[in-house]
Amino acid sequence: MRLPLAILLAVGIAGASAQDVTITGGVSEDRHTYDWTVTNQGTGPITRVEFPHYNADLVFAPDGWTTQATTGLVGRPVTSKGAPPRFIASASEPLNGILKGRSATFGLRVAPSGAFPRKCTVTVTFADGTRLEWPGVECPGGEPWLRRNFPVVGLGGCFVVFVAIRHLIRKRKSRP
């Protein structure tokens, strides 16, 4: 029973590899748009890509692709609470997908409140259902914790220094 399952898993994993896809791009100089070029070196067409995002309000996909499944866009109703926002583009037909040796460009615009570039994992799906995860792609993310809480951290640091100085002064005065 385990041998057939192992063979099926090996065949499914061998269907596509990280070398079959290349994803380049990221944030623009104005920090309000992100563009990625997905290149297919695999045998089957790429029919779906998923990018995580933060505060995106407009998405761009090539002709023949739809973005209706995209979640978490600013100004649109929330469809699934708790799920991270995703820019999902899918080809309407496998022939509209990214064929072997071809590239397609995807993009999004970040709302004026902004986002900060972070490394994320992009999911690519081939026509045969094989999914690849491509890590290290520059995507929009939320404000870093330290930047968001810097005033509180700074004030806390000042308080600690104040208490330490007061303690040292009292310690010196109490010596005979």
What CATH number does residue 69 fall under?
Answer: 2.60.40
Q: Write the DSSP symbol of residue 76.
A: S
Residue with tokens 């023949």: 64
For residue 172, which phi and psi values (nearest 5 degrees)?
-70, -40
Q: What's the pLDDT score for residue 3?
A: 37
73 and 48 within one domain: yes
Please determine, for residue 156, whether its predicted confidence score (pLDDT) is greater than 90.
no
Q: Is the same domain home to 84 and 154?
A: no
Question: Which segments of the chain does DSSP mark as H helices, in order?
Answer: 2-14, 145-148, 150-173
Q: Are 20 and 41 in contact (CB under 8 A)?
A: yes
For residue 113, give both structure tokens: 């409140």
Residues 17 and 93 in one domain: yes
Q: Are residues 108 and 170 in the same domain?
A: no
Q: How many domains does the chain have?
A: 2
Same domain, yes or no, for 136 and 156? no
Helix (H, G, I), strand (E, B) or coil at 85: coil
Cβ atoms of residues 134 and 124 within 8 Å: yes
Q: Where are the alpha helices (DSSP H) in 49-107?
A: none
Structure pTM? 0.72
Query: Does one domain contain both 31 and 85?
Result: yes
10: Cβ contacts below 8 Å, ≥ 6 apart: none
Q: Are residues 18 and 29 in the same domain?
A: yes
94 shares its domain with 120 = yes
Helix, strand, coil share (%) of the chain residues, nearest 5: 25, 40, 35
Q: Within this chain, do residues 65 and 30 fall inside the same structural domain, yes or no? A: yes
Check whether residue 112 and residue 156 sit in a common domain: no
Q: Tell me the pLDDT tens digit for each residue of 72-89.
A: 888 776 666 667 889 999
Check whether residue 25 and residue 94 sit in a common domain.
yes
Report the alpha-carbon distance of residue 155 to residue 29 in Å, rounded: 33
Q: Report the mean per-residue pLDDT for the chain.
A: 82
Residue 153 has what pLDDT? 77
- Please check whether residues 154 and 123 belong to one and the same domain: no
Domain that residue 170 falls in: 144-176
Q: For the ranges 4-8, 107-111, 138-142, which has the lowest average pLDDT?
A: 4-8
